[in-house]
Amino acid sequence: MKIDTIKSLAQIISLSSGLLATSQVGAANGYFDCPLTPTEFQVPIPNPDPPTTAGEFPTNLDEIFDYVLQNNIGFVKELLDHLPDHMRKNYAFVAKTRGLNKTSLEEPGLMLFGSDGRFMMNIGTIPSAPLFEVVDIAYLNDRGDWEFKSLDFRVSPPVLSPNGGNNNECRECHGKGGINSTGPMRPVWGNYLNWPGIFSDDGKHLEKITSAQVAALTRIKNGIQNQQRFHTIIPTFEFFDKVEQPIFLPDRQYGNSLTVANNEIGSAVAESIFKRAKRSPLYNQLREEYLALAYCGRVGKVSPEDKKKLINLIQEQGGTTEDITYRIDLGWMDIIRLWGLDPQHEFALHKLTNEYSTTTRHDTNWDASSGSLDEQVTLLVLLDLTKQNSQVDALLRNNLPSYEMTNCGTPFNMKGYLQHKVYANFTLKGNARQLARSSYYDINYTRFTETMENVKTELCALLTSEIGIDTPQPTVPDPVVELPTALSPQGIINMATPAFSWKEVPGTLHYAIVIYDNKGAIIANTRFDSNAVCAGGVCSVTRNIDVLMDGTYRWNVHVVNPDNSNGINSNTLGFTVETQTELPHQIIDACQQGQAPVGNVEILNSGNAMCLQDVSNGGQLQMHLYVPDNQVGSSLEIILKHGSGNSTLLYMYGNRPTNTVFDSKSNNPGNDEKLLIRNIKGGWNYIHVQAETFFSGVTLFTRFIH
């Protein structure tokens, strides 16, 4: 959504800190939990680039072969058994391939691209195919170079090919110059809404599953399609094989599989281009000129006089001016060439590199979804420039982005929003990015040009004034802003009503404490008068929240501005409530106390423990609970305890749950299960207890919480 430029002095002062005073930062909006700061999501992320620890599967080609040998991995299936979750949750199915593996509509190939597109695996699934026991891997190393190798399990011990393949076969499709070249390689992937041969491309420029694709997807979902390959993926059972719907990936707030693949692969490719461009001795000298063409040329803010200056500069550096002469908004490609890269190779991801002769200028406009690949590179170059160009830096800090973040408004100034884009799409890697995507996703992450609309005139005036000038300026330091500091609680506590304390910010009149549950949902947001809760530089207050049961929570405190808008956030702390004996709802062992076991019954007396019948492996007990009008809107707590075996607790409103269709599910080892259903609806609510193994002596407890 486009918004008007903010110009008032009060807002400019607020903007300079990176956070907008009138923002809704931290508010949970539907399924999207808004980021707390440009580099902080509501879900805690301890390390944005988590290292591989001893014994973990390494998603890099420098370590994978040693890992395979150390773990005696002798088959592709065994390799897939070791994959981390973020590899298993990000996938696409290939019916037609231009690669070496055999695929078909009935037996699609499997492509795993991970949460960040930096480590991808192409896996054949037809047992009779010659390459069934070979995995092709594409890997973006930390230097910014793509490596393409194959891991061959047809021999023992397995063999890892040289970069480019044993016979340079990878270079034929991925390398600049074809099979006999030594030039840079890059991935091949379809344009947005145009993925020929990939499942959920309907051939009509829509991301929808076709009727012809459903049968194979249903077999994959049900675990009967090549269990040596597809066992590794984690499907979303409800949105996996529905005609006219996309395949939805798990643990993502936005999960359309092919669009996700474009966004994640596109960010990895943009990072590669940016890192290799920075190696050029001309990179620093030509940043403003690149931005003047890549952004200002696109928005019509390069004058004829400035165009002449740019052409002269490119020619003086020994470059070609074919693109800038053809059209000003394509002139950025002439700068890319001066940085030592070929734009027709680097940016046309939907074209095989052995199709180079057919690649046109138009093909360099590869589309991630809401923005093109070159826009992602422009984003990285612009933020890099702000480290030296104080005028550009100040301009971005003192204005708002022109597009709102999905469901979150404009919580950051323009610099903060661009920093958030880079943090979310480039800094976060592996399981850290997967965790962030489970909390929030901005569908405008790849949108750059429209985001900058509010500053295009001023920005382009600054950039074009620097044509031919390479005079780095020191960045204006960030203003020193005193923040509230959360002190306690943190760690494990044994109270359901903990005291919250934080370091006071002088001059603040009001604060608000925000508490989040373990899924990032806000369960409390309460304001306090500083005169009532602060003394001696420290503020403290006890919150008595009757739904703060045993479990894990996070909290922070923020300043409330004089206009009642949200101000600056503190750090975020986590704590776990383990009350043990304090809460009155300790669950008795109903079976041990001699209660008669019950089976498929209506639960009539909430608040009492019930002894459940023994259930064999695979069986289940089906119970139902009627919620009267006077309980509507309260919370329903459902707990399993005691006994032997292993049970799963399932809940659904209005219909009986199944193993794949449910509203809530708890599946811990043994019989220690708990669900909290908030804002419960009136009428029939269904509770099932599934036996993962034979269980006996299990107690079920339910109660309403107001």
**Domain map (residue ranges) of the chain:** 267-465, 482-577, 609-705
**Is the CA virtual torsion 328, 453, 439, 199 positive or negative?**
negative
Decide: helix, strand or coil at residue 404. Answer: coil
Q: Are 449 and 298 in contact (CB under 8 A)?
A: yes
Q: Residue written as tokens 């965790």?
A: 435
Residue 680: the pLDDT is: 86
Architecture per CATH, domain 609-705, reads as Sandwich (2.60)
b (16+ CB within 10 A) / e for 288-321 = bbbbbbbbbbbbebbeeebbebbbebbeeeebee
Average pLDDT, the chain: 85
β-strands 644-653, 683-696 pairing: antiparallel
Helix or strand (DSSP H, E) at 540: strand 538-542
Q: How confident is the model at residue 576 (pLDDT cuts 50, 70, 90)?
A: confident
Tell whether the model's pLDDT for residue 226 goes beyond 70. Answer: yes
Mean pLDDT of 632-654: 88
List beta partners, residue 19.
Answer: 412
pLDDT tens digits, one per residue of 44-99: 998 999 988 878 899 988 889 999 999 999 999 999 999 999 999 999 999 988 77
Tell whether the model's pLDDT for residue 23 goes beyond 90. Answer: no
Q: Which of 286, 285, 283, 270 is nearest to 343 (CA)?
A: 270
Residue type, 56: E
Decide: helix, strand or coil at residue 407. Answer: coil
Decide: helix, strand or coil at residue 356. Answer: helix
Residue 471: the pLDDT is: 46
Residue 474: the pLDDT is: 42
Q: Which of 540, 559, 550, 551 is nearest to 500 (CA)?
A: 540
Q: Are 92 and 109 in contact (CB under 8 A)?
A: no
Query: What is the percentage of the chain residues whose pLDDT exceeds 70?
Result: 89
| 279 against 706, higher pLDDT | 279
Q: What is the CA radius of gyration of the chain?
A: 28
Q: Which of 574, 581, 583 is nearest to 705 (CA)?
A: 583
**Is the CA virtual torsion 656, 550, 489, 545 positive or negative?**
positive
Residue 18: the pLDDT is: 36
Please tell me the distance from the alpha carbon of residue 497 to that of residue 55, in angstroms, as a whole number: 40
Residue 627: the pLDDT is: 87
**Is the CA virtual torsion 626, 629, 630, 634 positive or negative?**
positive
List beta partners, residue 648.
Answer: 690
Q: Which of 128, 127, 134, 126 is nearest to 155 (CA)?
A: 134
Burial class, 669, CB count within 10 angstroms (exposed 0-12 / middle 13-18 / buried 19+): exposed
Q: Are 324 and 330 in contact (CB under 8 A)?
A: yes
Please tell me the distance from the alpha carbon of residue 370 to that of residue 206, in angstroms, as a whole number: 14
Please tell me the distance from the alpha carbon of residue 622 to that of residue 615, in angstroms, as a whole number: 11
Burial class, 375, CB count within 10 angstroms (exposed 0-12 / middle 13-18 / buried 19+): buried
β-strands 573-577, 491-493 pairing: parallel
pLDDT tens digits, one per residue of 468-484: 876 444 444 444 456 78
Architecture per CATH, domain 482-577, reads as Sandwich (2.60)
Q: How confident is the model at residue 380 (pLDDT cuts 50, 70, 90)?
A: very high
Residue 283: the pLDDT is: 95
Q: Which of 344, 272, 342 is nearest to 116 (CA)?
A: 272
Q: Residue written as tokens 């047809």?
A: 154
Q: Which of 473, 419, 454, 477 is nearest to 288 (CA)?
A: 473
β-strands 673-677, 635-641 pairing: antiparallel
Q: Which of 425, 458, 452, 460 is nearest to 441 (CA)?
A: 425
Residue 548: the pLDDT is: 66
Chain-centre distance for alpha carbon 420: 12
Please tell me the distance from the alpha carbon of residue 680 to that of residue 684, in angstroms, as a whole number: 10
Residue 519: the pLDDT is: 64
Q: Residue written as tokens 């620097």?
A: 466
Cis peptide before 184 (omega within 30 of 0): no
Residue 25: the pLDDT is: 30
Q: Residue written as tokens 């599934």?
A: 690
pLDDT tens digits, one per residue of 647-666: 999 998 988 888 778 888 88
Residue 317: the pLDDT is: 94
pLDDT tens digits, one per residue of 191-201: 898 889 999 99
Give the end-to-end CA distance of the chain in Å, rounded to a whole number. 39
Query: What is the percentage of the chain residues whose pLDDT exceeds 90?
Result: 51
Query: How are the residues of the chain apportioned to helix, strand and coil, as percentages rounded to the nearest 5?
Result: 25, 25, 50
Please tell me the distance from the alpha carbon of residue 151 to that of residue 120, in angstroms, as a whole number: 13
List beta partners, residue 147.
Answer: 139
CA dihedral 158, 161, 166, 169 (to 10 degrees): 120
Count how many Cα atoms sit within 13 Å of the Cα of residue 216 in the half-sphere of its side chain. Answer: 23
List beta partners, residue 651.
Answer: 664, 687
Please tell me the distance from the alpha carbon of residue 648 to that of residue 667, in angstroms, as a whole number: 5
Q: Are 117 and 128 in contact (CB under 8 A)?
A: no
